[in-house]
A and B are shown apart, each in its own frame.
Chain A
Amino acid sequence: MMQKKTHISITILTSLALFAMAGLYLYLLAGDIKLLRDIKWLDVVAEGGTTILALFWLVLLLRSRPAGRVTLLLALGLSCFVFSWWMDFVDEFIKIPDGVFWDNWLESMPIPVGLALLTLGIFHWHKEELAISAQMVKRERVFREHRLFDALIPLGGADYLREQVKLALKDARISQQPLSLVVIDINDFNGINQRFGQPEGDQVLQSITQLLLLNLRGQDLLCRLAGDRFVAVLSNTNPHDAEVIALELQQAIANLAYKTTKQGLRIHLSASTAVTVGIDEEANSLIKRLNMQLGLNKKHLTTAHV
C-alpha cells in the first residue's frame, strides 16, 4: 500500500517535471529571451506564486491520500493546472514571435482538461466520503474535528465527548426526550499491561472498541474517555433501556475470547459499567456524575469479592 502510494507520486511528479522541461525547451527553440527591462516583475511574482501553490496542493494530495482512482484523477487535474501556470510563468521571460500560434494552446488548453479531471475526481471523492462516513457512524456525529480524535484508538477523546454531550443535552431539552450515558471500564486493565506489555494492552483496547461499536445502535456515539474507560452517548433512551444496553456491553466483553498477538494466549476480560440520565445540567457535571457512579459500582464489586 505504502509502496504503491510512493510509486504513483513519483510517476506523476516525474512526468510533470518532464512536461515542464519539454515546454520550456520548445519555448527556447521558438523564441528569444527577453531583455531585463522588458520583464514585468509583478506578473513574474504572481504567476510564479500560483505555480508554486498549485504544486504544493499536488504534493499534499499525493502525500496524504492512499493510491486509487480518486487520487489519480485529482492529481492529474492539478498537474494540468501546474503545467499551464508554469508555461504562463515561462512566457514572462521568453518572447515568442507573433507567427507562432501553439504557445497559446500550451498555456490555455490544460486548464479545461484539468477542470474536467478535477470535477470527475471530486465527484468520486464525494461518493468515497459517503462510504467512509457510513463506517464512522457511532464514532462521530454532526461535526468532524480530527484534532479531538485519539491517536491510538479510532474514537473521539474526552474533549470530543464533552462537545457531543453538550449538543445532545440541548437536543434532549428541545425534543423532551431522555438522554442516557453509559460508561464502560475494563476491570484490571493494568494487570493486562503488566503481564503482556503496553502494546498488547493497546491491542486489547482496539478490539474492545470494535466490539462495543458492533453492540451499539446506529444513533449511539462511542468515545474513549481516558485509558481503558469508554462512554456511550445514547440519545432518546430512558434509563431502563440504557441499563439493558450497559448489561449487553458488559456481557459482550465477558464473552470476547481475546487472544494475545504473540503467543495467542486467551485473556479473560470483564468490565464495570454505570448509567446516568442527563437532566437539566452541564455536560461536565453529567460526565462527572457518571464517573462517580462508576466508582461506587466498582467499590461494591470489590467488597462483594472480599
Chain B
Amino acid sequence: MRQRLNYTHPANYFERDTSFIAAHHQPAIMLDLAMLRDVDSHLLLRGTQLFLDDMLTGNKLISPAQFLTLLSNSQKLLKGDDISFLFGQQILPGFNGPASQVFNHALNLRQALIHLCEYHTLLLPICTPRYFESDTHFFIYWLDNCGAGASQSKSQSSGLHTFLIEAHMTAVARMAAKMSQQNLPWRFNFTHEEPRYVEQYWVHLNEDISFNQQLNMMSIPLEYANQTWSQTAQVSLQLATLGSKMQLNDLGWQASFLDTLHDYLMQNIQQNLQLETVATSFNVSSATLKRKLLKHHTHFQEQLDLARKHVALYLYQIKGYQHHDVADYLRFNDINNFRRAFKRWTGLPPGQLLQANCF
C-alpha cells in the first residue's frame, strides 16, 4: 500500500493521553447535539475530568481518551440510532483554517481525499483514513488509531468503534456530495454485523452497503474521483496546502502511536519483526513499548497480525497475487502455515476470501 506518513521521527507521535484536540471543534459539535436533546452536561462529561466551562474557553485541548469518553457517554445518553450520523455530517470540512479550506479549492474528489488522509491528525484526529487505488476505484479505509475498539468491556467498545466508523464515513460521504454537488455512487464495507437500525445507513449513506467485511472501507469509481470540481482556485489551493503543512508542524504530532507502529510494521513486513527490534527502532525499551501498547488496549502480536492482514489483502485484491506469492512475500516457508495464519487474521481461509471478493 502507498505509504504517506514517513517513518522518520519516532517521537513525533501522539498517544491516547496526549492533549491536542481542540475542545471547541469536534467535541463541541457533540456537546451541541446532546444539549439540543436536553442531556445534562455533567453526565456527558462524566469520567472525562472536564467541566463545561473548560470546553467553553475556546483554547482547551483534550486528549483522544477524553474525547472517546465523551463520545461513549453521548452514545449511551442520547436516545436515537442516528446520533453518529448526525455528528458525522457536521465534522467536515471542520474549523481547521487552511487544512479545512483545501476542500473548497481542491481540483477534484481524489485530491480532497488524499489531503484528508495526509492531514487527518488535524481534520479527523481519532480515526485514521488511509487510501489506495486500483485501476478502476479509489479506496478509503479506516483505522482505529487510539484503541477505541478495545476499551472497557467488549460489547461496549465495539459499540463505540461502530459509532466512530459510522460518523467518519458519513463525514466523508457528506463532504464529497457537497463539493461534487451530486450523489456519488459510494460502496461501503463494514467489519461489524448488520445493526438493527440498518435504515440509518440507507438514509445517511446509501443502499450499497455490506457488513461482516474485512475492512471498514468505502470505494468510488475513479471517474467520479477525478471529475473536476467547479470551484477550483489554483493559488488559493497552494496557499491552503502550505498553511496545512505549517499547521501540522505547529501541532507537533504527525500521527498516532498506533498509526506510526502500523506504518513501521507495514514497511518492514518482510523483516523478522520482534518486539525487541521494533522497540530499538522506536528508541524505547521493550518494557516501555509493551506498556504503551497496553495503554492503547492492544499488544504486539495483534498489531503485527493486523499489518500482515492488510498487506495480504492488498496483495491478493489489488496486485492479484496467488497464494504462494503472498506467502513468499510475508516470509512464510510453509503454505499451510500461511493458510492457518491467514485464517487467524481474517476468520476465513484465503481461497474462501477470494471468492467472497471483499473489495
Q: Which residues of A contact B (CB under 8 A)?
A: 151, 158-159, 185, 190, 193-194, 225-229, 287-288, 291-292, 294-295, 298-299, 302, 306
Contact = CB atoms under 8 A, between A and B. Distances in A.
B202 A298 contact: no
Contact of A151 (B80, B196, B197): B80
A292 B204 contact: no
Nearest to A287: B199
B177 A190 contact: yes
B226 interface: no
Contacts of A291: 199, 202, 207
A193 B90 CA distance: 11
Interface in B135-153: none
Interface in B158-210: 174, 177-178, 182-183, 185, 196-200, 202-204, 206-208
Contact of A229 (B177, B178, B182, B202): B202
Considering residues B80, B89, B207, which has the most beta carbons from chain A within 10 angstroms of its beta carbon? B207
B202 A295 contact: yes
Given A151-B79, A190-B177, A227-B82, A295 B207 contact: yes
A228 B208 contact: no
B332 to A, nearest CB: 41
Interface of B: 37, 79-82, 85, 89, 174, 177-178, 182-183, 185, 196-200, 202-204, 206-208
B130 to A, nearest CB: 26
A226 B82 contact: yes
A226 B199 contact: yes
Given A151-B37, A190-B177, A226-B81, A295 B208 contact: yes
Given A190-B177, A295-B202, A302 B197 contact: no
Nearest to A185: B203
Contacts of B80: 151
Given A190-B177, A194-B178, A226-B82, A295 B206 contact: yes
Contacts of A227: 82, 85, 200, 203-204
B174 to A, nearest CB: 7
A194 B82 CA distance: 17
User: Is the contact region of chain A dominated by helix, strand, or loop, or is it mixed?
Assistant: helix
A151 B82 CA distance: 12
Nearest to B33: A198
Given A190-B174, A302-B183, A228 B207 contact: no
A190 B89 contact: yes
Contacts of B82: 226-227
A190 B176 CA distance: 13
A247 to B, nearest CB: 22
A287 B82 CA distance: 18
B199 A229 contact: yes
Given A158-B199, A228-B203, A298-B183, 12 more contacts: A151-B37, A190-B89, A190-B174, A190-B178, A193-B89, A225-B199, A226-B199, A227-B200, A227-B204, A291-B207, A302-B182, A306-B182
Nearest to B37: A151
Contact of A226 (B79, B174, B177, B200): B200
A262 B208 CA distance: 37
List 9 A-B pairs, minimum CB-CB distance, nearest first: A295-B207, A227-B203, A226-B203, A226-B199, A291-B202, A226-B200, A229-B203, A225-B199, A158-B199
A177 to B, nearest CB: 26
Nearest to A288: B198
A306 B181 CA distance: 12
A291 B207 CA distance: 7
A226 B197 contact: yes
A294 B207 CA distance: 9
Contacts of B202: 226, 229, 291, 295
B178 to A, nearest CB: 7
Nearest to A199: B36
A233 B229 CA distance: 41
Nearest to B198: A288
A77 to B, nearest CB: 32
Contact of A292 (B79, B174, B207): B207
